[in-house]
Structure 1
Amino acid sequence: MNKAILFLLVFITSSLIAQKNNQKDKFVVQIKKVKGDLNKDNLADLVVVTQDTINEKAPYKVEVFFAQPNGAFKQIVSTTKAIDNQYPEGKNGYYNGNSFYDITIEKGILTIKNELTRGNFEHKFRYQNNNFELIGFSEVYSDGQGTMGMVDFNLSTGIRVSSTERYDDSNEKPTKTQKKILIRPLPKLQNFAPFTTEFY
């Protein structure tokens, strides 16, 4: 009876170890690493973007680490939603035109930058209220038919400015609209996914 129980325990333990190994993090290709003070403690924090290149969709992971006084780093955020997959429909599928370009830290603001087929967009996050909150979105794009569009959305104030202008020989006048759109609570980095709303 004891041998049967021992065998069962060994089998269960082996199965759990195998499962853990199968779930091992596959985001092993480092795409970008930046340092900068994000929480105003005068220590250089760390943001790392990695990619799972084995996965058909080649997803990205964004990790934010706060620097500790002893020189170590403490993970604050880890998300695979903040940057669109490189191949949303798989490597042989439809390409949506969005591609990760860069991530920066300037004046305490974490910015995720992406390129479009005809333009670019970026999302800005600031550490406040014990979270990284989305405070800004901007986009520049072309419709490929002579019109350039721009969007600048300050989520902190709620002011969203959008404009269009022709870059061909048309005499059409530029347009500009400004709206106040308050979004509360502000989106948090750990739950954020780009273009899940019409505003950002």
Structure 2
Amino acid sequence: MKKSSRCLILFLLLAKVNLYSQKAADKDHYSLQVRNEVGDLNNDQHDDKVIVEMDVKDDTRPLRLQIFLSQPNSKKLQLVVSTTKLIESQYPADKKGEYNGNTIPDFIIEDGHLKMLTDINDRKSSYEFRYKQNNFELIKISRVSWDGKNTTAEAEIDLLAKTKIEFEQELGSDKILNKRKKGIKIEALPKIQDLSFSDLEQY
């Protein structure tokens, strides 16, 4: 074997080892678990798990969402989703190290669906995902914001029906005011691993 070929092979092997080590090191930095939810997401009568972890070594304090599903004929859980885009870092680089002012989202499993609850800039939102064909698809969004006085502005977005309903309510009243309904254009249901926190705010 020529010397140049041996050098090339050695370089490639070292590069692969370095890449693996870097990935392992990055993974280990997400060492602080801040959310943990257990429930059945794939309708197999076994518990699945949703966790959110923070990278405490990164000054921006990024957050990673991971979803583990139970496997047929096995008690082990398999990682099916891992994303660092869905939740904004606590100290985003674009805010020059300032705290973003928002709480870390809560996650709940209800009726086989995964819900993410956020409170961003005093607007509370619920994002509902369903598990279908090995993906978690966004199907519903509900939002409510308070004007600081006596009225809340609310929205219900149904991505399956392709509709958006907006209305107002006075505090302490069930009466719906100024109800508006319109269609929304959507070609395919967004998948949780493809969404960023800024994408969610666009709806």
Normalising to structure 1: TM-score of the pair? 0.80
> Do 1:158 and 1:181's aligned partners in 2 also have CA atoms closer than 8 Å?
yes
Distance in 2 separating the partners of 1:9 and 1:197: 45
106-115 or 157-166: which moved more?
Answer: 157-166
Flag the 1:193–1:6 CA change in 2: closer, same or farther, 3 A.
closer
| CA-based RMSD | 3.1
How much does 1:151 deviate? 1.3
* Pick aligned residue for 1:191 from 184, 189, 194: 194
Other-structure match for 2:157: 153
Q: Deviations over 1:66-109 (max 9, x none)?
A: 11232111111111111122222378534444332311111111
- Unpaired runs of at least 5, structure 2: none
173-182 or 12-21: which moved more?
Answer: 12-21
112-121 or 76-85: which moved more?
Answer: 112-121
Other-structure match for 1:170: none
> Do 2:137 and 2:192's aligned partners in 1 also have CA atoms closer than 8 Å?
yes
Other-structure match for 2:168: 164
How much does 1:150 deviate? 1.1
For this pair of structures, how many residues does the alignment match? 195
Matched, 1:35 2:38: yes
> Do 2:90 and 2:100's aligned partners in 1 also have CA atoms closer than 8 Å?
no
Other-structure match for 2:66: 63
Matches within 5 A, 1:94-173: 94-144=98-148, 147-165=151-169
Flag the 1:175–1:73 CA change in 2: closer, same or farther, 3 A.
same
How much does 1:62 deviate? 1.0
Name whichever structure is richer in helix by fraction.
2
Same amino acid, percent of matched pairs:
31
Flag the 1:46–1:144 CA change in 2: closer, same or farther, 3 A.
same
Q: Determine helix, strand or coil for the equivalent of 1:99.
A: coil
- Unpaired runs of at least 5, structure 1: 168-172
* Pick aligned residue for 2:183 from 150, 161, 180: 180
